[in-house]
Amino acid sequence: MAGHEFAEVALIYDLHTHSNASDGILSPADLVSRASARGVTHLALTDHDTVQGLQSARTQAEQEGLTLLNGVEFSCLWSGYGIHVVGLNINPESPSLDAALTAQQLARSDRAEEIGAKLAKLGVEGAYEGARALAGEGVIGRPHFARYMVDQGYSANINSAFKQYLGAGRAGDVKQRWPDIASMVAAITASGGVAVLAHPVKYELTRTKLRLLISSFKDAGGQAIEVVSGQQPVNETRTLADMARLFDLYASCGSDFHTPGQPWQELGSFTPLPQSCRPVWQLWH
């Protein structure tokens, strides 16, 4: 008797991506199409401090037969470090989320003016206006400043703009306006979402501090950490899988895609979660 054989359908989850609603290059619809073409079956759009792109992403996802998750990536502070927390399966209409988004967008505008003023003192002219124009309707961030500085010849490329002007410890690294991590986690969970600690390796913390960060994140109600963020060394994946187990957290994975042409952050292009991990999607299946 036939009928007991099921085709194995590979599910590919990419739960961390950006469109031009924040600092990505593609429109939300183009992002969805690219993800679909690359075999992603479950995609979260997680723009910085905005949910503006979700609606058009959803329309496109329905056409492509791809499952779209509502997401966001919040900037916040922990112990003086700028930390990112992703919210997955959030309700974009929830009042607590809306309040957090409004506050973040205001903070980003004020911060952008401050960054522009600081860059002006370093001899970079018109940076605020230039970055603002590049951000268009989207939420403004340091990458828009970086693009402006490359366009105007102040920096050779995006990476050196961050090294010289915008990265950790540089003039444009303004982060004191962000709320603390606990209130961000609370806003996500109050909206029905799952709070995920984004790319824990990127903060360049010592092992001890990383444990402290994960511990306060968990105490605040955080439920998962990104064990896989883009293409990363296997030892990092192992360390983070160990951390997830140690703190009894679910594991997430995503490319952190921003733009085509960066193979280390390409849609769906990363190793699967280690077997030892509990994937975060177990929370909603």
Residue 23 interacting with Mn ion (CB under 5 A):
yes
Question: Which residue lies nearer to ligand AMP by CB, 141 or 193?
Answer: 141
d(CA 124, CA 16): 32
Q: Which is nearer to Mn ion, 84 or 144 (CB)?
A: 84
Q: Of 20, 34, 35, 48, which one interacts with ligand AMP (CB under 6 A)?
A: 48
* Residue with Cβ nearer Mn ion (49 or 256): 256
Q: Which of 14, 47, 226, 256 binds Mn ion (CB under 5 A)?
A: 256
Q: CA angle, 17 as apex, 188 and 269 as ends, to 5°?
A: 130
Q: Is 162 in the site for ligand AMP (CB under 6 A)?
A: yes
Q: In the bound complex, which residue of the shown chain has the CB atom lying closest to Mn ion?
A: 84
Positions in 81-100 near Mn ion (CB under 5 A): 84
The 3-state DSSP composition of the chain as helix, strand, coil percent (nearest 5) reads 45, 15, 40
The region of 52-60, 156-164, 216-224, 232-240 touching ligand AMP under the rule CB under 6 A is 156-164
Q: Which one among 116, 141, 200, 254 touches ligand AMP, defined by CB under 6 A? A: 141
C-alpha closest to that of 200 among 241, 234, 165: 241
What is the separation of C-alpha 119 from the centre of its chain, rounded to a whole number of angstroms? 25
Site for ligand AMP in 251-270 (CB under 6 A): 258
Residue with tokens 């990505």: 24
> From its phi and psi, is residue 48 left (phi > 0), alpha (psi between -120 and 50) or beta?
beta
Residue with smaller CB distance to Mn ion, 49 or 73: 73
Please identify, using beta-carbon distances, which residue of 28 and 279 lies nearer to ligand AMP: 28
Tokens (6 digits) for 64: 């492509």
Burial 83-100 (b: 16+ CB within 10 A, else e): bbbbbbbbbbebebbeeb
Name the residues that contact ligand AMP, by CB under 6 A: 23, 48, 75, 141-143, 158-159, 162, 167, 258
Q: Which residues bind Mn ion (CB under 5 A)?
A: 23, 73, 84, 198, 256
